[in-house]
Amino acid sequence: MSAANTESKLESNLESKLDALECHFTWDLNASRSRLFFIRDQLADIGTEDGFSWLGHINNLQGFVHYLLGFHEEACRFLHKATEAFRQIRNTVSDEGPWLVVNYGNLAWLHHHLGQQAQSQDYLLKVQDLMSKYPPPSQDELHPEICAEKAWTLMKFDKEKRLQAADYFQRAIRMNPDMVEWQTSRVLALSNDFKANIKDLSDDILGKMKTAKEHDPNNLYLAAFYLEARAAKGEEVEEDACDLATKVLQKSAGTFSGLTALLRLYRRHISMDEAIHLAEEALARDPESRFAKRCVAICYKRRIFHERGNFESKVMDRAISLCKEVIALYPDSSFEIKLNLAEIYAKCNVAEADQMFEDVLSAAADLEPEDRQMLYNCYAKHLHYSRRQSQKSIEYHMKAAEIPQPSRYRYNSIKQLEKIRDGNRNWKCGEIKEFLAKLPH
């Protein structure tokens, strides 16, 4: 056998073993580039305190995301940070522990993709050694540590896979019921899809949230989400919200500090002005926090669109200024803030609004399906109400509707098209009727 054939056979054998690993590279994790940047920035905004128990998982996922984005040195750095984080969290100086299986699998794959086959083989052997020392409970089951990390990753990476994530968490909990953070994360995986319509949250999931909160009292994100769910069911929660706000403000603003859920609760069920006051206080306590600035910007945008009519110039100026700051702080993942700014400009400077919409539309091809629906739906409304271009508005409602992704934006665009069709006053009514008839529901 020639040297080339031998090398090819060894390469094939290595890839076969790598394919059998349980790690991010084998979990079928696909996303657009815009989504990857969003995940990267969301993970970066998790405070060290709030994310401590998941620090290894955070760095593991960051490593994989940076690899997909083409930042290979950063990918390697994050994966090694994950190794150290697992050692700190588990309070061990050795390399041993089933929690390192996914991390070493990622490193084996990364070195393989970088053409560093000797290092890849070393990590592959480390994985095999760990699997031998810490086998799963049965041949058909993953080790609970691997189950939990896979669940956590699916929940963060792809919202369409949250039910699958909840199932993996349940399997991990069944094998190791003492891990409180796994139980909390399972409940969040089941409930996060109801953020937009939280009143639809079932009593069964609400009960699970209550139980998880009792077992994990320091998780302020869960506490705020649970309060919001209670308020949506008609309960009076203002006093509890005030107490929780005191706790949230004592922590650094971050993805899971509880601030976003608490502000949503205030905006929807207590007071828009109090929500802004709370957000401004969080920013005053942590003025360098880009996450806090993002929260304040969203609150001002919600206020402007919650209350119809004219606004004081200082409110509009504050909203515009914050949006511009946030866009600069999140240069790769500020799609929604750019859209917010375009909508705000539509109320005071239509030419600026046009420019912002054009900017976002130019990058529409890389957006996730629901984000494209949001963009087309918002732009259609801008064309209709600000530009009085009803025919072009119809075209963009059609663009939103033809994307086969269930969302409130698609639903709204379909409703607008149906309204025009039923009114029978537009020369495009026949085209709209034919379009809706062919549209998959």
For the chain, the C-alpha Rg in angstroms (whole number) is: 24
In a domain, 16, yes or no: yes
- The verdict on pTM exceeding 0.85 is yes
pLDDT of residue 6 exceeding 60, the answer is no
Residues 397, 410: Cα–Cα separation, whole Å: 8
Q: Which of 135, 165, 189 is the last residue of a domain?
A: 135
Q: What is the pLDDT of residue 235?
A: 94
Mean pLDDT value of segment 408-424: 93
In a domain, 271, yes or no: no
How much of the chain is helix, strand and coil, in % rounded to 5?
75, 0, 25
Mean pLDDT value of segment 356-383: 95
Q: What is the pLDDT of residue 9?
A: 61
Q: What is the pLDDT of residue 92?
A: 61
pLDDT of residue 292 exceeding 60, the answer is yes
In a domain, 360, yes or no: no
220-260 residue pLDDT tens:
999 999 999 999 999 999 999 999 999 999 998 998 899 99
94-106 residue pLDDT tens:
667 899 999 999 9
Question: What does the angle CA 161 – CA 166 – CA 169 come to, to the nearest 5 degrees?
Answer: 125
Better pLDDT: 57 or 139: 57
End-to-end CA, the chain: 58
Measured CA to CA in angstroms, residue 420 lies from 43, 226, 401, 409, 416 at distances of 43, 40, 14, 17, 6
Containing domain of residue 103, as a range?
1-135
Please tell me the total count of domains within the chain: 2
Q: Is the dihedral of CA 142, 52, 265, 300 positive or negative?
A: negative
Q: What is the pLDDT of residue 7?
A: 57
In a domain, 113, yes or no: yes
Mean pLDDT value of segment 357-375: 94
pLDDT of residue 269 exceeding 60, the answer is yes
pLDDT of residue 196 exceeding 80, the answer is no
Residues 369, 335: Cα–Cα separation, whole Å: 13
In a domain, 98, yes or no: yes
Q: Which of 107, 135, 163 is the last residue of a domain?
A: 135
Residues 189, 252: Cα–Cα separation, whole Å: 24
**Is residue 379 very low, low, confident or very high in pLDDT (cuts 50, 70, 90)?**
very high
pLDDT of residue 420 exceeding 70, the answer is yes
In a domain, 396, yes or no: yes
Select from 145, 163, 154, 244 the least CA-distant residue to 205.
163
Measured CA to CA in angstroms, residue 99 lies from 90, 96, 102, 104, 347 at distances of 9, 9, 7, 10, 52
Q: What is the pLDDT of residue 136?
A: 87
Q: What is the pLDDT of residue 94?
A: 61
Tokens of 97: 């522990």
pLDDT of residue 3 exceeding 60, the answer is no
**Is residue 311 very low, low, confident or very high in pLDDT (cuts 50, 70, 90)?**
low
pLDDT of residue 85 exceeding 70, the answer is yes
Q: What is the pLDDT of residue 213?
A: 94
Q: What is the pLDDT of residue 159?
A: 80
What CATH number corresponds to the domain at position 4? Answer: 1.25.40.10
Average pLDDT over the chain reads: 91
In a domain, 330, yes or no: no
Mean pLDDT value of segment 271-291: 95
Q: What is the pLDDT of residue 310?
A: 64
Q: What is the pLDDT of residue 10?
A: 58
Mean pLDDT value of segment 334-356: 95
213-225 residue pLDDT tens:
999 999 999 999 9
Q: Which of 135, 153, 175 is the last residue of a domain?
A: 135
Q: What is the pLDDT of residue 95?
A: 62
